[in-house]
Amino acid sequence: MAEQAPSARVAIITGGSRGIGRATAMAAARRGWRVVIGYASNEEAARETVVAVELAGGRALAVKCDVGVEADILALFKAADGFGPLGALVNNAGIVGPTARVEDFSAARIDRIMRVNVTGSFLCAREAVRRMSTRHGGQGGVIVNLSSVAALLGSANTYVDYAASKGAIDTLTIGLAQEVAAEGIRVAGIRPGLIDTDIHASGGDPDRHHRLAGSVPMRRIGTADEVANAIVWLMSDEASYVTGATLNVSGGR
């Protein structure tokens, strides 16, 4: 069983209103974390997640935040500052574009995906380090970056740009972990495989994960809870010697 986080420690979860983010918010709250849920647009889903956390005995706060906008990120962290000392960041927010080949990508599409998936994660990590690093007077903490098995597979004919953005996240995890390892901060990553969320619907192919389930060695897709369980383990003291590593949660794919 994961340790109970000090009741005053806060975990920020970007993209925390649905799917893996919501499951992580619930799992973290059950382990004693106060959770700050960043959401881009679905206020109703964010409020429902806050209510679910509170009904389970936890504390939660929802803050509107498009991680592709630096001002939103600053507002998210400012709101979290009033909720308690930051102990964890889960860089979960991410987007995909419609299924397409590279030759059909527009510059605007690539810019948007990189701004949200890569720049947003960097800026959130920056703000977290400024608060958690012992170099800045912090108490240490954990950053968990959400990558994807797509970074290893390339996602040809679907969204190579998304896969490339997650490759950048893998590199961020390694480099940042080395920078802050002596400052009380661990940085780790998760590569989900085919998970039962609505991300494929946003790419115009809602049945993709079910259609490809046969390509998974375990012969099924994963659940958001299975990914969340791995995330909160990395946030826990049970993973106290894990940094710079990215864990595949993919059924062997």
| Beta strand 86-91 pairing with 10-13 | parallel
Q: Rounded to whole angstroms, how far apart are CA atoms 102 and 123?
A: 27
Q: Rounded to whole angstroms, how far apart are CA atoms 158 and 164?
A: 12
Q: Rounded to whole angstroms, how far apart are CA atoms 68 and 35?
A: 21
Q: Rounded to whole angstroms, how far apart are CA atoms 113 and 194?
A: 19
Which stretches of the chain are DSSP H helices? 19-30, 43-55, 70-81, 107-114, 120-132, 150-153, 160-180, 199-202, 208-211, 224-235
Active site residue 162: yes
> How far are the Cα atoms of 65, 81, 181, 214, 247 from residue 17, in angstroms, in the given order?
11, 20, 30, 29, 23
CA dihedral 154, 156, 158, 164 (to 10 degrees): 30
Tokens of 173: 């995890």
Q: Give the chain's length.
A: 253
Residues 6+ apart with CB under 8 A from 46: 16, 17, 37, 39, 62, 64
- Catalytic residue set: 162
